[in-house]
């Protein structure tokens, strides 16, 4: 019996799949209006478009927005946006990027350049194309790229025996500032959710949704048609523009934090987020001010994470009166937890000189040593005790 029949007999998973048909790649390229770019490593398809999306005048310091040091202040021209569309999300060496979108600011416009593989054998050319655009732009901005796109390109470079085109670049992963700014308000921080929040319209039906993208590429390769590839290109271009918009918003907020100007936040959670970022930037006064604002307008004074942040920052700033108000509001809002009573006991004992109140909260906190000490103090039997707040 021939091998093929034995294979079919043994391979119980097979059945019903038609073998792939040959593909006229040149016809596909023309119908998608893609150019061919020849590099030192072969050829790749390319599409370039200019979007009316002007850059920020300058880039403010983005300290405090990223997990890692974003580096010294940069120019808009230093930035390369990058996003890949791949054959899957499973990781490992079997996933390849078949479309790499890149964008940069040039003449007040956002130039989007998309490199697409005519077939998997053209990866080397694609990587050469990325290297070409990455040269001279020291910062690569991605959305979730630190854990996905950048390691992927590193792996692909290795497999194609090329130098990683982004090895020396500073990575700005925009998912980090997005989380820091909006995770308190949004159900999730996926790029599309954030874009919607920032006022972008819904994605349209002529874009292919992310989850369907690998299948579109496989269908093209198998000769089942390429009509949906245009939708993948659109999806990718939209992602590039979306990233630029998110960065613009991050820069706007950073600029205001930098200048200390009042920002037009619309929600107490925005004030809270700005407070946390100010804290990350080392601006403790600003941070405390943001948390005061957040507490002043919040409709969740009992939110434990908010209360903890506000207490920490207000105390650090020496604003013990406000700290007390925060605790009272939280207790009034129903956050009846022992750590909060303990905070109140400490404040009243050491900062506000109210041993009776401190004792009441120490009892509620179940803090026996403090209770004993405060009882002696209230009874006037604590000769050691000085009426001075202790440091720290």
Partner 1 sequence: MNLAQLLDSLKGDESFRRHVTRWEVIPPEPGRYADFPANLDPRLADVLRARGIDRLYSHQAEAVRLVGEGASVVVPTPTASGKTLCYNLPVLDRVLREPQARALYLFPTKALAQDQMLEVHELVTDLGVDIRTFTFDGDTPETARRAIRSSGHIVVTNPDMLHQGILPHHTLWVKLFENLRYVVVDEVHQYRGVFGSHVANVLRRLRRIAAFYGADPQFICCSATIANPRELATRLVGREVESVPDNGAPRGEKHFIFYNPPVVNAELGIRQSVIKTTRRIAERFITGNVQMIVFARSRMRVELLLTYLEQAGRRVGIKSGEVRGYRGGYLPGERRAIEQGLRDGSVGTVVSTNALELGIDIGRLDVCIMAGYAGTVASTWQQAGRAGRRQNLSAVVMVASSNPTDQYVVQHPEFFFDRSPEHASLDPDNLVILMSHLKCAAFELPFDQDERFGDQRVTEILDYLADQRVLHRGEGRYHWMTDTYPAEEVSLRSAAPDNVVIIDQSRPGGRIIGEMDLFSAQEMLHDKAIYIHGAQQHHVDKLDWERREAHVQPVQVDHYTDAQRKSELKTLTADEERPLGCGTLSVGEVGLISKVTVFKKIKLGTHENIGSDRVHLPEMEMHTTACWWEIPDEVTAQLARAGFDPGEALAGLAHLLGRVAPVFVMADPADLHTKAMVRSPFTGNATLYLYDSCPGGVGFARRIFDQFEEISVAAADHATGCACRGGCPACVGAAVESGGTARDGARMLLQQLRQAAAGA
Q: Is 29 one of the binding residues for partner 1 (CB under 8 A)?
A: no
Q: Three-state DSSP class for 310?
A: helix
Question: Among residues 92 and 201, whose Cβ is nearest to partner 1?
Answer: 92
Which residue among 72, 92, 334, 392 contacts partner 1 (CB under 8 A)? 92
**120 makes contact with partner 1 (CB under 8 A):** yes
334 in contact with partner 1 (CB under 8 A)? no
Give dist(CA 335, CA 384) in Å, integer: 35
Query: Residue 211 or residue 390: which is nearer to partner 1 going by CB?
Result: 211
Find the part of the chain contacting partner 1 (CB under 8 A) among 216-224, 265-273, 277-285, 349-357: 216-224
Residue showing tokens 């992927």: 152
| Spatial contact of 227 and 212, defined as CB atoms under 8 Å apart | no
Is 167 among the residues that bind partner 1 (CB under 8 A)? no
Nearest approach in angstroms of CB 296 to partner 1 is: 41
- Residue 357 interacting with partner 1 (CB under 8 A): no
21 touching partner 1, by CB under 8 A: no
How many residues sit close enough to partner 1 to count as binding (CB under 8 A)? 37
User: Where are the alpha helices (H) located in the chain, listed in sequence order?
Assistant: 3-10, 25-31, 123-134, 149-159, 175-182, 191-197, 213-221, 229-259, 268-280, 284-297, 304-316, 320-332, 338-346, 355-365, 368-378
Cα 82 from Cα 144, distance rounded (Å): 11
91 is a site residue for partner 1 (CB under 8 A)? yes
Examine residue 38 and tell whether it contacts partner 1 (CB under 8 A).
no
Closest distance to partner 1 from the beta carbon of 248 (Å): 33
Distance of CA 285 to the CA centre of its chain: 26
Tell whether the torsion through CA atoms of 348, 354, 359 and 360 is positive or negative: negative
Interface with partner 1 by CB under 8 A: which range of 83-91, 239-247, 261-269, 300-308? Answer: 83-91
Shortest CB 219 distance to partner 1, Å: 10
d(CA 70, CA 77): 15
Task: Select the residue interacting with partner 1 from 21, 90, 262, 388 (CB under 8 A).
Answer: 90
Give the binding range for partner 1 (CB under 8 A) out of 1-9, 57-65, 179-187, 342-350.
1-9
CA pair distance 371, 362, nearest whole angstrom: 6
Give phi and psi for 42, each to the nearest 5: 110, -165
DSSP code of 122?
A: G
Determine which residue in the list 51, 67, 154, 263 makes contact with partner 1, applying CB under 8 A: 154
Contact 141/103 with Cβ under 8 angstroms? Answer: no
Which residue of 27, 73, 89, 378 would you call a contact of partner 1, by CB under 8 A? 89
Residue 1 interacts with partner 1 (CB under 8 A): yes or no = yes
| Residue from the set 39, 43, 61, 155 that interacts with partner 1 by CB under 8 A | 155
Nearer to partner 1, 4 or 52 (CB): 4
**What are the Cα distances from residue 348, in Å, to 324, 338, 343, 344, 368?**
8, 15, 9, 6, 16
The binding site for partner 1 (CB under 8 A) comprises 1, 3-4, 6-14, 17, 19-20, 87-96, 119-121, 154-155, 158-159, 214-215, 218, 221-222
């Amino acid at each position: 019996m021939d091998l093929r029949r034995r294979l079919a007999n043994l391979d119980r998973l097979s059945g019903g799949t038609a073998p792939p048909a040959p593909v006229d790649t040149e016809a596909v390229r023309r119908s998608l209006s893609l150019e061919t770019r020849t590099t030192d490593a072969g050829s790749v398809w390319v599409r370039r478009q200019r979007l009316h999306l002007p850059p920020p005048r300058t880039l403010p310091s983005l300290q405090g927005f990223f997990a890692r040091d974003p580096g010294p202040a940069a120019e808009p021209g230093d930035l390369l946006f990058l996003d890949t569309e791949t054959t899957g999300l499973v990781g490992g060496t079997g996933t390849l990027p078949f479309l790499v979108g890149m964008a940069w600011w040039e003449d007040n416009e956002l130039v989007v350049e998309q490199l697409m593989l005519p077939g998997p054998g053209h990866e080397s050319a694609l990587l050469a194309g990325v290297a070409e655009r990455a040269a001279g732009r020291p910062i690569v901005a991605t959305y979730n790229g630190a854990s996905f796109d950048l390691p992927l390109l590193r792996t692909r470079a290795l497999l194609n025996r090329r130098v990683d085109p982004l090895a020396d670049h500073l990575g700005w992963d925009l998912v980090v500032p997005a989380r820091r700014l909006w995770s308190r308000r949004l159900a999730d921080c996926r790029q599309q959710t954030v874009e919607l929040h920032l006022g972008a319209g819904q994605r349209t039906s002529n874009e292919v949704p992310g989850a369907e993208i690998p299948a579109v590429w496989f269908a093209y390769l198998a000769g089942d048609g390429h009509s949906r590839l245009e939708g993948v290109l659109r999806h990718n271009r939209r992602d590039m523009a979306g990233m630029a918009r998110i960065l613009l918003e991050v820069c706007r907020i950073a600029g205001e934090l930098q200048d200390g100007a009042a920002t037009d936040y619309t929600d107490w959670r925005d004030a809270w987020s700005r407070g946390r970022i100010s804290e990350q930037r080392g601006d403790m006064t600003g941070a405390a001010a943001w948390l005061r604002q957040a507490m002043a307008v919040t409709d969740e004074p009992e939110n434990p994470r908010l209360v903890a942040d506000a207490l920490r920052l207000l105390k650090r700033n020496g604003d013990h009166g406000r700290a007390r108000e925060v605790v009272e509001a939280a207790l009034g809002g129903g956050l009846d937890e022992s750590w909060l009573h303990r905070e109140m006991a400490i404040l009243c004992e050491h900062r506000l000189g109210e041993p009776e109140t401190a004792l009441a909260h120490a009892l509620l906190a179940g803090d026996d040593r403090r209770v004993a000490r405060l009882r002696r103090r209230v009874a006037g039997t604590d000769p050691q005790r000085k009426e001075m707040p202790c440091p720290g």
